[in-house]
Amino acid sequence: HVSLNDAYKDLGKVEWPVTLSDREKYMFMIRRGIEEGQIRPHYQPIMNGDGEVYGFEVLVRWPHPEQGTIPPNKFIPFAEEEGFVDEIDRYVCEYACHEMKQLMDQLGQKFILTVNVSAKHITKGHYIKELKETLEKTSFPPELLAIEVTETSLVVNLKEAAYVINDVRNLGAQVWIDDFGTVYSSLNYLRHLPLDVIKLDGSFIRNIQDNKVDRTICSTIIQLAHELNLKVVAEGIEEGCQLKELKQLNCELFQGYHFHKPLGIEELRHYIKGVKVL
Protein backbone atom coordinates (compact mmCIF):
# COMPACT_ATOMS: atom_id res chain seq x y z
CA HIS A 1 0.00 0.00 0.00
CA VAL A 2 0.95 3.67 -0.35
CA SER A 3 3.06 4.95 2.51
CA LEU A 4 2.12 8.23 4.09
CA ASN A 5 5.31 9.78 2.73
CA ASP A 6 4.41 8.78 -0.83
CA ALA A 7 0.93 10.16 -0.41
CA TYR A 8 2.24 13.45 0.91
CA LYS A 9 4.91 13.84 -1.78
CA ASP A 10 2.15 14.61 -4.26
CA LEU A 11 0.96 17.50 -2.21
CA GLY A 12 3.96 19.59 -3.27
CA LYS A 13 2.97 22.52 -1.12
CA VAL A 14 3.79 20.97 2.23
CA GLU A 15 7.26 21.30 3.59
CA TRP A 16 9.38 18.19 3.31
CA PRO A 17 9.81 16.13 5.46
CA VAL A 18 6.33 16.37 6.87
CA THR A 19 5.87 16.21 10.60
CA LEU A 20 2.75 14.65 12.00
CA SER A 21 0.97 15.37 15.24
CA ASP A 22 0.36 12.47 17.61
CA ARG A 23 -3.31 12.47 16.63
CA GLU A 24 -2.45 12.21 12.94
CA LYS A 25 -0.04 9.38 13.67
CA TYR A 26 -2.68 7.52 15.62
CA MET A 27 -5.24 7.99 12.86
CA PHE A 28 -2.71 6.69 10.34
CA MET A 29 -2.00 3.67 12.54
CA ILE A 30 -5.70 2.83 12.77
CA ARG A 31 -6.18 3.15 9.02
CA ARG A 32 -3.16 0.95 8.46
CA GLY A 33 -4.55 -1.54 10.99
CA ILE A 34 -7.65 -1.75 8.78
CA GLU A 35 -5.77 -1.95 5.47
CA GLU A 36 -3.51 -4.70 6.76
CA GLY A 37 -6.37 -6.56 8.37
CA GLN A 38 -4.96 -6.37 11.91
CA ILE A 39 -8.21 -4.84 13.13
CA ARG A 40 -10.81 -7.60 13.06
CA PRO A 41 -14.24 -8.52 14.30
CA HIS A 42 -14.69 -10.86 17.25
CA TYR A 43 -17.99 -12.50 18.12
CA GLN A 44 -19.67 -12.84 21.50
CA PRO A 45 -22.47 -15.42 21.74
CA ILE A 46 -25.98 -14.29 22.65
CA MET A 47 -27.89 -17.17 24.24
CA ASN A 48 -31.56 -18.01 24.65
CA GLY A 49 -33.20 -19.42 27.78
CA ASP A 50 -32.54 -23.03 26.74
CA GLY A 51 -28.81 -22.36 26.53
CA GLU A 52 -28.80 -22.37 22.73
CA VAL A 53 -26.87 -19.85 20.64
CA TYR A 54 -29.26 -17.22 19.28
CA GLY A 55 -26.66 -15.05 17.62
CA PHE A 56 -23.45 -13.11 17.99
CA GLU A 57 -22.52 -9.54 18.80
CA VAL A 58 -19.66 -8.26 16.69
CA LEU A 59 -16.99 -6.54 18.80
CA VAL A 60 -13.94 -5.08 17.13
CA ARG A 61 -10.44 -6.15 18.28
CA TRP A 62 -7.06 -4.73 17.44
CA PRO A 63 -4.17 -7.01 18.38
CA HIS A 64 -1.41 -4.49 17.67
CA PRO A 65 1.97 -6.11 16.84
CA GLU A 66 3.96 -3.83 19.16
CA GLN A 67 1.43 -2.62 21.71
CA GLY A 68 -0.57 -5.74 22.54
CA THR A 69 -4.35 -5.79 22.11
CA ILE A 70 -5.83 -2.31 21.98
CA PRO A 71 -9.44 -2.37 23.24
CA PRO A 72 -12.20 -0.61 21.25
CA ASN A 73 -12.70 1.91 24.04
CA LYS A 74 -9.20 3.18 23.23
CA PHE A 75 -9.71 3.82 19.53
CA ILE A 76 -13.46 4.03 18.78
CA PRO A 77 -13.99 7.26 20.79
CA PHE A 78 -10.85 8.70 19.14
CA ALA A 79 -12.16 7.81 15.67
CA GLU A 80 -15.48 9.41 16.60
CA GLU A 81 -13.72 12.64 17.58
CA GLU A 82 -11.67 12.66 14.40
CA GLY A 83 -14.74 11.91 12.28
CA PHE A 84 -13.69 8.64 10.66
CA VAL A 85 -15.46 6.07 12.85
CA ASP A 86 -17.76 5.34 9.90
CA GLU A 87 -14.74 3.83 8.10
CA ILE A 88 -14.18 1.44 11.00
CA ASP A 89 -17.85 0.52 11.36
CA ARG A 90 -18.28 -0.11 7.66
CA TYR A 91 -15.14 -2.25 7.52
CA VAL A 92 -16.13 -4.25 10.62
CA CYS A 93 -19.67 -4.80 9.35
CA GLU A 94 -18.54 -5.95 5.92
CA TYR A 95 -15.82 -8.20 7.35
CA ALA A 96 -18.23 -9.76 9.84
CA CYS A 97 -21.05 -10.27 7.32
CA HIS A 98 -18.59 -11.91 4.95
CA GLU A 99 -17.03 -14.20 7.58
CA MET A 100 -20.35 -15.11 9.16
CA LYS A 101 -22.01 -15.82 5.81
CA GLN A 102 -19.23 -18.27 5.00
CA LEU A 103 -19.48 -19.92 8.41
CA MET A 104 -23.28 -20.23 8.18
CA ASP A 105 -23.03 -21.73 4.70
CA GLN A 106 -20.41 -24.23 5.84
CA LEU A 107 -22.41 -25.27 8.88
CA GLY A 108 -25.85 -25.00 7.30
CA GLN A 109 -26.98 -22.90 10.28
CA LYS A 110 -28.34 -19.41 10.82
CA PHE A 111 -27.42 -16.84 13.44
CA ILE A 112 -28.45 -13.30 14.18
CA LEU A 113 -25.44 -11.03 13.83
CA THR A 114 -25.46 -7.70 15.66
CA VAL A 115 -23.07 -4.89 14.79
CA ASN A 116 -22.40 -1.76 16.80
CA VAL A 117 -22.94 1.48 14.97
CA SER A 118 -21.51 4.71 16.27
CA ALA A 119 -23.77 7.66 16.95
CA LYS A 120 -21.68 9.78 14.62
CA HIS A 121 -22.10 7.27 11.85
CA ILE A 122 -25.81 6.62 11.85
CA THR A 123 -26.67 10.28 11.40
CA LYS A 124 -24.43 10.59 8.35
CA GLY A 125 -26.51 10.63 5.17
CA HIS A 126 -24.66 7.75 3.55
CA TYR A 127 -25.41 5.17 6.19
CA ILE A 128 -28.35 3.36 4.59
CA LYS A 129 -26.79 3.30 1.13
CA GLU A 130 -23.63 1.75 2.56
CA LEU A 131 -25.52 -0.80 4.62
CA LYS A 132 -27.45 -1.86 1.54
CA GLU A 133 -24.19 -2.18 -0.41
CA THR A 134 -22.60 -4.25 2.37
CA LEU A 135 -25.56 -6.64 2.44
CA GLU A 136 -25.51 -7.04 -1.34
CA LYS A 137 -21.75 -7.40 -1.58
CA THR A 138 -21.57 -10.10 1.10
CA SER A 139 -24.93 -11.78 0.25
CA PHE A 140 -25.68 -11.64 3.97
CA PRO A 141 -29.41 -12.22 4.64
CA PRO A 142 -30.77 -8.86 5.92
CA GLU A 143 -33.20 -10.56 8.29
CA LEU A 144 -30.23 -12.00 10.19
CA LEU A 145 -28.58 -8.62 10.73
CA ALA A 146 -29.30 -6.24 13.60
CA ILE A 147 -27.64 -2.92 14.22
CA GLU A 148 -27.03 -1.90 17.83
CA VAL A 149 -27.51 1.79 18.42
CA THR A 150 -26.89 3.48 21.75
CA GLU A 151 -29.24 5.88 23.39
CA THR A 152 -26.68 8.64 23.04
CA SER A 153 -26.84 8.27 19.28
CA LEU A 154 -30.54 8.94 19.43
CA VAL A 155 -30.32 11.97 21.70
CA VAL A 156 -29.13 14.13 18.83
CA ASN A 157 -32.31 14.15 16.80
CA LEU A 158 -35.20 11.85 17.49
CA LYS A 159 -36.91 12.60 14.20
CA GLU A 160 -33.82 11.89 12.13
CA ALA A 161 -33.15 8.75 14.18
CA ALA A 162 -36.68 7.53 13.42
CA TYR A 163 -36.09 7.95 9.67
CA VAL A 164 -32.83 6.01 9.77
CA ILE A 165 -34.36 3.25 11.90
CA ASN A 166 -37.27 2.92 9.51
CA ASP A 167 -34.87 2.73 6.56
CA VAL A 168 -32.86 -0.02 8.26
CA ARG A 169 -36.04 -1.99 8.93
CA ASN A 170 -37.20 -1.47 5.36
CA LEU A 171 -34.00 -3.20 4.25
CA GLY A 172 -35.20 -6.13 6.34
CA ALA A 173 -32.67 -5.73 9.17
CA GLN A 174 -33.42 -5.11 12.85
CA VAL A 175 -32.59 -2.26 15.20
CA TRP A 176 -31.57 -3.03 18.77
CA ILE A 177 -31.06 -0.39 21.42
CA ASP A 178 -27.82 -0.84 23.37
CA ASP A 179 -26.92 0.00 26.99
CA PHE A 180 -30.59 0.59 27.67
CA GLY A 181 -31.43 2.53 30.80
CA THR A 182 -28.19 4.46 31.11
CA VAL A 183 -29.46 7.69 29.60
CA TYR A 184 -32.07 9.68 31.38
CA SER A 185 -34.76 9.91 28.72
CA SER A 186 -34.67 6.20 27.83
CA LEU A 187 -38.41 5.76 27.96
CA ASN A 188 -38.92 8.49 25.43
CA TYR A 189 -37.12 6.39 22.80
CA LEU A 190 -39.52 3.54 23.33
CA ARG A 191 -42.38 5.92 22.68
CA HIS A 192 -41.04 7.32 19.46
CA LEU A 193 -38.87 4.70 17.76
CA PRO A 194 -39.79 1.41 16.08
CA LEU A 195 -37.17 -0.79 17.77
CA ASP A 196 -36.87 -4.60 17.88
CA VAL A 197 -34.77 -5.48 20.92
CA ILE A 198 -33.61 -3.77 24.11
CA LYS A 199 -30.18 -4.56 25.51
CA LEU A 200 -30.41 -4.08 29.25
CA ASP A 201 -27.15 -2.48 30.36
CA GLY A 202 -24.74 -4.64 32.33
CA SER A 203 -24.59 -2.08 35.15
CA PHE A 204 -28.12 -3.12 36.22
CA ILE A 205 -27.19 -6.80 36.17
CA ARG A 206 -24.02 -6.67 38.26
CA ASN A 207 -25.78 -6.48 41.65
CA ILE A 208 -29.15 -7.89 40.64
CA GLN A 209 -28.86 -10.55 43.34
CA ASP A 210 -28.52 -8.33 46.37
CA ASN A 211 -29.65 -4.90 45.24
CA LYS A 212 -33.40 -4.58 45.42
CA VAL A 213 -33.46 -1.34 43.40
CA ASP A 214 -31.48 -2.85 40.52
CA ARG A 215 -33.67 -5.91 40.53
CA THR A 216 -36.80 -3.77 40.39
CA ILE A 217 -35.40 -1.71 37.52
CA CYS A 218 -34.61 -4.90 35.54
CA SER A 219 -37.99 -6.37 36.27
CA THR A 220 -39.79 -3.18 35.23
CA ILE A 221 -37.83 -2.71 32.00
CA ILE A 222 -38.41 -6.36 31.04
CA GLN A 223 -42.15 -6.14 31.68
CA LEU A 224 -42.42 -2.87 29.82
CA ALA A 225 -40.47 -4.25 26.86
CA HIS A 226 -42.76 -7.26 26.65
CA GLU A 227 -45.86 -5.06 26.75
CA LEU A 228 -44.39 -3.27 23.73
CA ASN A 229 -43.55 -6.56 21.94
CA LEU A 230 -39.80 -6.06 22.30
CA LYS A 231 -37.35 -8.75 23.28
CA VAL A 232 -34.75 -8.14 25.99
CA VAL A 233 -31.07 -9.14 25.99
CA ALA A 234 -29.39 -8.92 29.39
CA GLU A 235 -25.75 -7.92 28.94
CA GLY A 236 -22.69 -8.53 31.06
CA ILE A 237 -23.84 -11.73 32.80
CA GLU A 238 -20.88 -13.11 34.72
CA GLU A 239 -22.52 -15.42 37.27
CA GLY A 240 -24.96 -18.29 37.10
CA CYS A 241 -27.02 -16.67 39.88
CA GLN A 242 -27.50 -13.53 37.77
CA LEU A 243 -28.77 -15.68 34.91
CA LYS A 244 -31.17 -17.49 37.23
CA GLU A 245 -32.52 -14.22 38.55
CA LEU A 246 -33.03 -12.81 35.05
CA LYS A 247 -34.81 -15.94 33.90
CA GLN A 248 -37.21 -15.52 36.82
CA LEU A 249 -37.88 -12.02 35.57
CA ASN A 250 -38.79 -13.51 32.14
CA CYS A 251 -35.81 -12.10 30.29
CA GLU A 252 -35.30 -14.19 27.13
CA LEU A 253 -31.81 -13.51 25.80
CA PHE A 254 -28.47 -13.43 27.60
CA GLN A 255 -24.90 -12.39 26.95
CA GLY A 256 -21.74 -12.21 29.04
CA TYR A 257 -18.51 -13.84 30.19
CA HIS A 258 -20.61 -16.43 32.04
CA PHE A 259 -21.23 -17.95 28.59
CA HIS A 260 -18.29 -16.76 26.56
CA LYS A 261 -15.97 -13.88 25.92
CA PRO A 262 -15.82 -12.48 22.36
CA LEU A 263 -14.16 -15.04 20.05
CA GLY A 264 -12.17 -14.78 16.84
CA ILE A 265 -13.66 -16.57 13.82
CA GLU A 266 -11.50 -19.68 14.20
CA GLU A 267 -12.25 -19.99 17.91
CA LEU A 268 -15.88 -19.46 17.03
CA ARG A 269 -15.86 -22.22 14.43
CA HIS A 270 -14.45 -24.51 17.08
CA TYR A 271 -16.88 -23.34 19.78
CA ILE A 272 -19.97 -23.73 17.62
CA LYS A 273 -19.29 -27.43 17.08
CA GLY A 274 -19.73 -28.15 20.75
CA VAL A 275 -22.94 -26.22 21.46
CA LYS A 276 -26.62 -26.37 20.74
CA VAL A 277 -27.85 -23.84 18.24
CA LEU A 278 -31.32 -22.52 17.68
Contacts to ligand C2E by CB under 6 A: 44, 59-60, 71-73, 76, 85, 89, 92, 116-118, 178-179, 202, 236-238, 256-257, 262
Minimum distance from residue 178 beta carbon to Ca ion (Å): 4
Q: Which is nearer to ligand C2E, 106 or 211 (CB)?
A: 211
* Residue 174 interacts with which of ligand C2E, Ca ion, none, CB < 5 to 8 Å by class: none
Nearer to Ca ion, 116 or 138 (CB): 116
| Binding status of residue 179 toward Ca ion by CB under 5 A | yes
Stretch that binds Ca ion, among 15-23, 91-99, 173-181, 218-226 (CB under 5 A): 173-181
SS3 content of the chain, % helix, strand, coil (to 5): 50, 20, 30
- Strand-pair partners of 69: 63
The distance of Cα 259 from the centroid of its chain, to the nearest Å, equals 18
Q: Which is nearer to Ca ion, 33 or 256 (CB)?
A: 256
Question: Which of 97-105, 110-118, 153-161, 254-262 is the region at the interface with Ca ion (rule: CB under 5 A)?
Answer: 110-118
Largest CA distance in the chain: 67
DSSP state of 142: G
Minimum CB separation of residue 116 from Ca ion in Å reads 5
Nearest to 259 by CA among 272, 245, 249, 278: 272
Q: Is the dihedral of CA 106, 89, 41, 30 positive or negative?
A: positive
Report, in Å, the least distance between residue 200 CB and Ca ion: 9
Regarding 44 and contact with Ca ion (CB under 5 A), the answer is: no
Contacts 24+ apart (CB under 8 A), 260-263: 260/44, 260/45, 261/44, 262/42, 262/43, 262/44, 262/57, 262/59, 262/61, 263/42, 263/43, 263/44, 263/45
Q: Which of 148, 151, 245, 252 binds Ca ion (CB under 5 A)?
A: 148
The size of the interface with Ca ion (CB under 5 A), counted in residues, is 5
- Please report how close the Cβ of residue 12 comes to ligand C2E at its closest, in angstroms: 36
How near is the Cβ of 124 to Ca ion at its closest, in Å?
19
CB of 262 to ligand C2E, least distance (A): 5
Among 86, 89, 94, 178, binds Ca ion (CB under 5 A): 178
Nearer to ligand C2E, 8 or 264 (CB): 264
Which residue from 101, 116, 179 is spatially nearest to 146, judged by alpha carbons? 116
Q: Specify whether the CB–CB gap between 104 and 139 falls below 8 A.
A: no
The verdict on 255 binding Ca ion (CB under 5 A) reads no
Do 42 and 269 touch, CB atoms closer than 8 A? no
Residue 116 interacts with Ca ion (CB under 5 A): yes or no: yes
Q: Do 263 and 43 contact (CB within 8 A), yes or no?
A: yes
Binding site for Ca ion (CB under 5 A): 116, 148, 178-179, 235
